Each structure stands twice: as C-alpha cells, then as structure tokens.
Amino acid sequence: MVSTAAYGTWPSPIDAALTASHDGRPEFVGTVGDEVWWTEPRPAEGGRRALVRRTADGTIRSVLPEPWNPRSRVIEYGGLPWAGAAREDGGPLVVFVHFPDQRLYAYAPDGPDEPWPLTPVSALGGGLRWVEPQLHLDRDEVWCVMEEFTGPSPTDVRRVIAAVPLDGSAARDRGSVRELSDDSHRFVTGPRLSPDGRRAAWIAWDHPRMPWDGTVAMVADVHGSGFGNARPLAGGVDESVVQVEWDRDGTLLFVSDAEGWWELQRISPDAADGGASRHRLCGGRDEEFGGPLWRIGLRWFHLLDNGLIAVVHGRGTTSLGVLDPETGDLVDAVGPWTAWAETIAVQDTRVVGIAASPHTSYEVVELDTATGHTRAIGAPHQDAVDPALCPDPVIRTFAGPGGREIHAHVYPPRNPGFTGPEGELPPYVIWAHGGPTGRSALVLDLEVAYFTSRGIGVAEVNYGGSTGYGRAYRERLREQWGVVDVEDCAAVAVGLAEEGSADAARLAIRGGSAGGWTAAASLVQTDVYACGSISYPILDLAGWATGETHDFESQYLESLVGPYAEVPERYHERSPVHHTDRLTAPFVLLQGLDDPICPPVQCERFLAAVEGRGIPHAYLAFEGEGHGFRRADTVRRALEAELSLYAQTFGLDRTDVPRLELRK
C-alpha cells in the first residue's frame, strides 16, 4: 500500500541515531606482508579511528584497542597516519600517530607489549606532529613528515622530512630525530626512496599557493646524514603535482595537471631540459588521474609487480583501472562501484582500494588483475534499511550565468510507502560541499537518505571550483569565492523549481566549512532560500586572512578572493558577517568548540551582528568536536536540529525530532 502524505512529513526508519552510527568511511588502505590493513571510523567510541587488519584467511580484527586513535593533525587535515611491515621473525610492526598527543608510536600487535613512543612531546604551540610514516627496517628508522611549531601562533611552524629511530631513543630526546631535508619549503610530503636507494623524491610547495595551484616534484641524493643536492624536477607555480613514485628502471612517475587535467607522466631524474623529456602515459582523455592534496599521503596510482599501473581516474567521479604504460591501454575493473577513494595498495597481482556506489557505502575492495575478479574484502556494505528507502540519484548538468555548465547530483524524495499529493511539489535542500576545492561524490549517504526518505529532496552542487572536471573548471572560482559558488547553487535551486521538480517557496541551503560559507553567503546575497543550515563556517574573510585559521589555509584567500593587501574592500563586501541586515531567512548554526580551522569566534561575531534583527535562529556548539563532527551524539543532534528547522520553516508536521528552539 502506498499512502499519500505531504512531502516532508513522511515517516522513515532512517532516524538520526541510525545515520550517525554509519557516519564516516574506511581510509588509508595498505598491505603488511600477506595482510591488508586500513583505518575505520568508530562514532560510538568518541569518534576515534580504529586500525584494522585482514589476515590471509579472511579474519578481520582490530590492531589497536580503544582508546588508541591513529589520526594525524599535520596541516590540521592530517593524512596517512600509519605504516606497517613484516619483520624477519614473521610478526608485523606498525608505527602510527596517536591523535591526542600526536606522538609517533611503534607496536608489535602479535607481541605482549603495549605501544611504545618513538617521538617526544613538545609543549610549544601545537607541538610536534607527524604524518605519512614509511618504515625502513634495514635502516632501523621510520621516515615521515615532521611538523614542528616554533611559537604560539598557528603559523609559527616549520615542516621537514625526518628520520625517527625505531629503538625509541628519540622519545625523550628531540636531538635524536634526524632531519633529512631542510625547511626551504613551507609544505612537504613524505619521501619516496628510489629502488637503488640513491635518491629520494617528494612534493613541496609554498604560500600563497595551495597544492592544487602549484607544487614541485623534488629529487635529492641520499647520503648518510640526509638529503643533498635537492632540486625541482617537475611542477611550478602554475602546475600541480600531487603524487610521485619511482619505477623500477629509476625513472620517476608523477601526476601533473600541466595539460589541464591531472595526468600520469614519466620523467628521468637526470632531466635537465625543462621538461622536454616528459612522457604522458595516458594523456588526451580529459579525465583526472589525481585530485586535490587536502591530506598528506593520498595515492591515486600504484605500480604492480608485472609493470602495469593501477590507477584511480575519471571525470566527475572515479573508477579503478589498470594501465599499460607502454601502450597506454586502460582497462577498468568491473563491479557496482562508481567512486574510488584516493587510497590504493597492491599485493602481487591484486589491487586493493576503497570504493562506493549510489547504492553501497564505502567498502574495502580487491581487484585480482590476473582474473579480473573483484570483491569486497573489508568493511562490507550492509543494508541498514530497505534499499528502497535510499535515494536514487540523477546526474544533472544545469545552466548557470552566461550559460556555463554546473554539475550536480539530484536526489528526489523516495519512500516506497508514500507519495506526495497531486499537484504538490517537494521541498529541496541544496548541499554545498566543503573545500571549496573538492566535490560531492556520487555515493550512498545516509544523511541524504535521512531527508529524501521523509519527502525532502536533496541536490548536491559541484559548483565552479570543484575538482574532477579539469583545471579550467577548478579555476572558475579564482578570486570569485562568494560569487560563482553562490550563483551556481542558486542556479540549480531555481532550475529545479522552474522545471517543476521543487517547490520554489520551500528551498533551503546547507553546507559545512567552505560549504558553510557558501550557505551563509547565499542567505545574505539572494532571496532564493527559505532557510539554511550552516556548519563550522567561514563568515568573516578578513578575520580568517589575518590569523583566525591554521597555517595550511592561512593564505588560501589570496587565490579565492584576491590579495588582502590589494583588495580589502572585497573581503568586507563578501563576508556574511557584515551583511546581516540583508538576512531574512531563519538558520541554524552548528559549530565545534575545538575547531582550529574555522574557530568559534567567527560564529560568535556573526551571532552578535544578527542579535536584535528578528531573524529566527539557533546556535548549537559542541564540546570536544573540531572541524567536522565525528561523535555519534553530535551527528545525531545536528541532523535533528536541521530537520526541525526545515519542519518549522516549511510548515511540516513532524513529531519524531525534538523541536529546535529558535530565538530572534
């Protein structure tokens, strides 16, 4: 039986608690001997990450018990937090970054001892932090990126490649940490050692560029005390290199967007001809073979023992493929997965990655390149509810100002037990992703289903500036943040209304981080939306540009808005905090109190400006949460608050969530 009920009032078994329990995804897959390891979220355990292992017989168990939490804070977004290797005695050794103190620890999970520290604690600023560890058992040390604070400011920081002894001698002695590179670059990734051990390669960049603007692939000679004769081999101020790896013949493979798309290329480390010796391995496809380097240690390709290369590639979304570097032939893995994450490992003829689809959550997937067979081997998707309750997305392209293309994923309301009244159009929520140099992936998300199963449509907008569509699409946002993103989201919302898919009077916008900025900017710049949900946002550009954020993004606005010293009026004009007089729509503001990226002071300043203007609003601040919510209870409360806002604004009768108290 199908009942008729107003859109937005449908009952659904997908409640906020269920949604919160499935928040997060597996990450950072790797191999240790004949085992596959990765990290998994634990929302019910304070939002920690767990490191798990899959043994050769298929058994899966945790490597580290609670409360160990392998997660790095380098550049605040972190990156690869662990590395493992099989020792000669057959037992594995793992090194990992423990989130609370950011120290490196070593652990033999098959032995009797607890994890032991490898690095010291520093009380200065943010302390000592580590990311992308690489074990070198023959050298009895682990190489990684070290982030060291030199003063109290978030920008008082240096980053180098360092070697940490595995014997624990550096746990109380900073002097035992051997610095391999100098600090001539502000940002570095972990090094790759050449097959003959004579050279190392890594990626570096400097302010004000972000890693998707311009980076360089560095090569250096390896000697007893560190790296020498370091020199750039590829990349530059207008070229983004996002991964480097050595091939067996001593050439360097790397991903670069020099031709407008992130593509896989090869170059000799002895090249001195300004790039003339470069060779594109799979060029001319107008696809991305890389992505934005938001975290250190992301990986889009991996060499196989037979000389083939496993690659994550695509346009708008991603596939797993196997590339023949000699012919350029590329064969994709079969299976239901339509989005592959930027992490990949190999084991003999097998490739292991993390993938999802519109109907399955992220799971650990293995491709056997010898047989072409694929299967989920870890974190397997299990239907939390009847799949018919989950949305069925439609990939759309909308027309924006000047006819420009805007990519979006549209999720109409869907519930097998209900339909809307004849002639009624559903409310819709426009989702603006974070970054803004990022994108919304086409994958199953119970947060989307939470709304669509209740009769509220969702449209994820990959506005101009999003990745996955080439450098030119990405650079539409250059100096246009707060303009192009706002216009593109509005164009999708209006387009849905004009075509008769959405109720023009019941449109909302939501976003977190940079998406929170777009949501807030949209509320003060347009009259398209009836309300908005704003999470851990940027609200005051001048404050964010002058010390109110972390080092990594401290000069991001130079490209997104323009040089602050040259166009300060632009920072003022675009900031929602200065235009609350234009605000007419109710909103909810959600903020983590421990957020170093978008700190609470931005929300507090915005709320002070809103005070007394008669705009219904609510502010929920969460202790112990940083940039992005990880704890199950936080996710639940945030979702319920958002739904209550929509119910009150759209006139929906909902008694299944606590009423959000809106003040004026």
Interval 444-476: pLDDT, tens: 999 999 999 999 999 999 999 999 999 999 999
Residue 88 located in a structural domain: no
Task: Residue 390: give its domain's CATH number.
Answer: 3.40.50.1820
Q: Is residue 273 over pLDDT 70? A: no
- Alpha helices (H) in 424-563, listed in sequence order: 446-452, 471-474, 484-498, 514-525, 541-545, 557-560
Residue 478 located in a structural domain: yes
Residue 510 located in a structural domain: yes
Is pTM beyond 0.85? Reply is yes
Q: For the packed helices 484-498 and 514-525, what is the interaxial angle rounded to 10 degrees?
A: 70
Residue 277 located in a structural domain: no
Q: Which residue has the tokens 């199908």?
A: 2
Residue 163 located in a structural domain: no
Q: Provide the pLDDT confidence category of residue 551 given band limits of 50, 70 and 90.
A: very high
Domain count for the chain? 1
Distance CA 16, CA 641 (A): 10
Q: Provide the pLDDT confidence category of residue 276 given band limits of 50, 70 and 90.
A: low
**What CA–CA distances, in Å, run from 226 to 181, 183, 199, 200, 582?**
7, 13, 11, 10, 58
- pLDDT for 173: 92
Helix (H) or strand (E) holding 645: helix 632-650
Residue 188 located in a structural domain: no
Q: Rank 104-113, 268-277, 405-414 by mean pLDDT and report only the highest.
A: 405-414
| CB neighbour burial string for 435-457, b if at least 16 within 10 angstroms, e if fewer | bbbbbbbbbbbbbbbbbbbbbbb
Residue range of the domain that includes 430: 3-16+385-650
Residue 239 located in a structural domain: no
- pLDDT for 89: 78
Mean pLDDT to the nearest integer, 481-503: 98
Q: Are 451 and 487 in contact (CB under 8 A)?
A: no
Residue 115's φ and ψ, nearest 5 degrees, are -55, 140
- pLDDT for 24: 87
Residue 604 located in a structural domain: yes
Q: What percent of the chain is modeled with pLDDT above 90?
A: 94
